[in-house]
Amino acid sequence: MTLEFNKGANSTFTISVIDTTDYSGFALEMEIDSIYEGGFAKVNITNAKDSSGDAIDGIEVAVIIASDQTEGIVFDDFVDFSNIPGKAQIITDILNTVATHNLTVSIDGVTKNAIVTVEVIEVAIF
């Protein structure tokens, strides 16, 4: 936004206001909330927006997913957001630790991370 003020005969000055608000963000949901050990988690990213608040669209963006269990980083690659703006599905590496996994998702260009939970359950052998 630009404002112009005129004070007197020959004195004009301009003030520019720049919006520095960060509108980036995204939401997460799991395809299923529990999987068997040795399985893959499917994480759905929705409503992904850049710092201007525009849907991430038509580009590949670096995404990292880290588990708070022994697996550590379970996804580290570029994700294509060109099919549906702001949406993508990611399949993680294999999760072997039987526990509740808090998966922290980071998207390049988005300030805040988000966390989603998946329960890894033991395969019953009879």
Sheet strands side by side (includes 25-30): 25-30, 39-49, 88-95
Is 56 contained in some domain? Answer: yes
Residue whose structure tokens are 């963006």: 61
Residue range 42-51: mean pLDDT, rounded: 94
The Cβ-side half-sphere exposure at 33, using a 13 Å CA radius, reads 2
Average per-residue pLDDT for the chain: 89
pLDDT of residue 76: 98
With respect to residue 126, please indicate whether it lies within any of the assigned structural domains. Answer: no
Q: Is 120 helix (H, G, I), strand (E, B) or coil?
A: strand
- The Cα 116–Cα 28 span in angstroms is 6
Number of Cβ within a 10 Å radius of residue 27: 13
3-state secondary structure of 56: coil
67: in domain: yes
In a domain, 66, yes or no: yes
At 19 the pLDDT is: 74
Of the ranges 18-22, 98-102, 118-122, which one carries the lowest mean pLDDT score?
18-22
Measuring CA to CA, how many Å separate 59 from each of 27, 48, 103? 18, 12, 24
Q: Is the pLDDT of residue 58 over 80?
A: yes
**Across residues 39-62, what is the average pLDDT?**
93
Give the structural domain span for 76. Answer: 22-121
Total domains present in the chain: 1
- Which one, of 45, 100, 44, 47, lies nearest residue 71 by Cα? 100
At 89, which CATH number?
Answer: 2.60.40.1930
Q: What is the mean pLDDT of residues 59-84?
A: 94
